[in-house]
Amino acid sequence: VTSNQLALRLRDDVSQALAEGRPVLALESAFVSHGLPFPVNRETALAAQNEARSLGVVPAMIAVLDGVVRVGLDEAEIERLASGRGVVKASCWDLGAVTALRQTAGTTVAATLAIAGRLGIRVLATGGIGGAHPGGRDVSADLWTLAHTPAAVVCSGPKAILDLPQTLEMLEGLGVPVVGYGTDELPAFFAASSGLALPWRVDDLDTAAQLMRSHWHWHSSSVLLVQPPDNALSPEELREALQWAESEARLAGVRGRELTPFLLARIAERTQGRSVEVNRRLLVANAGLAARLAKTLAQRKAE
């Protein structure tokens, strides 16, 4: 489907699945263009897609290619995002510009959610969402977009580089439920736990789907379904790497959309790639959980 005016193109398998009410899983693409190093980024993207397909769910990685909003990518297109050359990172405030100016962009959770939401794709998987950075001056657009888009976002919590208590408080204030999948504690992306108690926990997908349907009936925000990584960094290793990364960012004066990629890259350096391995595994695991959730939601709808 191509609409010149809207510069939107859905892959055939995605538009067919949507038309027939079969489950579709949205995948963000900023982790490919800006989150992980090459070639782990490409392999992770392909593994996440395969995970969804093996569960009978159509993966729809969302990105902007030459100014066209694309929903569902093939290998060559993922390769292009992964190579990083001439690829920008687009959040919500960039969306109009990257399309009008014919740019190529990996989309953040916020931008991906905005697009998926408009198309009626209700489940999105990512590694970790953005949130409030320490110091309070930088807050990700992810939070505000979650606040007004009815979707399920499966992740391993907010990224460990954030002020987690503040991010959780903001999610509460914005009316975005954070639900532990088999956990009582907020996972912290690279770490299995943050020490922060979650308001709610579910242990099966039927209950998760029920919770979401009820939530969306009364409110139009996203629900975060969170699960910890199974190969987390130790708290000490993470704390040390994080402190170093933050001081490097301060020294280099990095800010704005560069900050998250900069911190992730420094942490990868400091942990000799162990953080990359955690990130890779949790992205694939989250795609798997999200795909099973998408199936459960589609079944319940059909009932």
Window of 100-108, 133-141, 200-208, 235-243 that interacts with Mn ion by CB under 5 A: 133-141
Q: Which residue in the set 138, 185, 237, 277 belongs to the binding site for Mn ion (CB under 5 A)?
A: 138
Q: CA–CA separation, 122 vs 102, rounded Å?
A: 27
Question: Within the chain, how many helices (H) and strands (E) appear?
Answer: 12, 12
Task: Show Cβ contacts of residue 269 under 8 Å, excluding neighbours closer than 6 positions.
Answer: none
In this structure, the number of other CB atoms found within 10 A of the CB of residue 43 comes to 15
Quick one: 99 or 260, whose CB is closer to ligand PSU? 260
| Closest by Cα among 89, 95, 164, 104 to 128 | 164
Question: Bridge partners of 9?
Answer: 2, 70
Question: 74: which 2 tokens?
Answer: 């093939």
Among the listed residues 51, 159, 246, 295, the single catalytic one is 159
**Residue 141 binds which of Mn ion, ligand PSU, none (CB < 5-8 A, kind-dependent):** ligand PSU
Among the listed residues 28, 51, 77, 246, the single catalytic one is 28
Q: Which residue in the set 11, 34, 274, 292 belongs to the binding site for ligand PSU (CB under 6 A)?
A: 34
In this structure, the number of other CB atoms found within 10 A of the CB of residue 166 comes to 17
Asked if 82 and 41 touch (Cβ cutoff 8 Å), the reply is: yes
Concerning whether 159 is annotated as a catalytic residue, the answer is: yes
Q: CA–CA separation, 89 vs 84, rounded Å?
A: 10
Site string for ligand PSU, 71-110 (x = CB under 6 A): --------------------x----------------xxx
Site string for ligand PSU, 240-279 (x = CB under 6 A): -----------------x--x---x--------------x
Instruction: Enumerate the active-site residues.
Output: 28, 159
Q: Which residues bind ligand PSU (CB under 6 A)?
A: 28, 30-31, 34-35, 91, 108-110, 126-128, 130, 140-142, 257, 260, 264, 279, 283
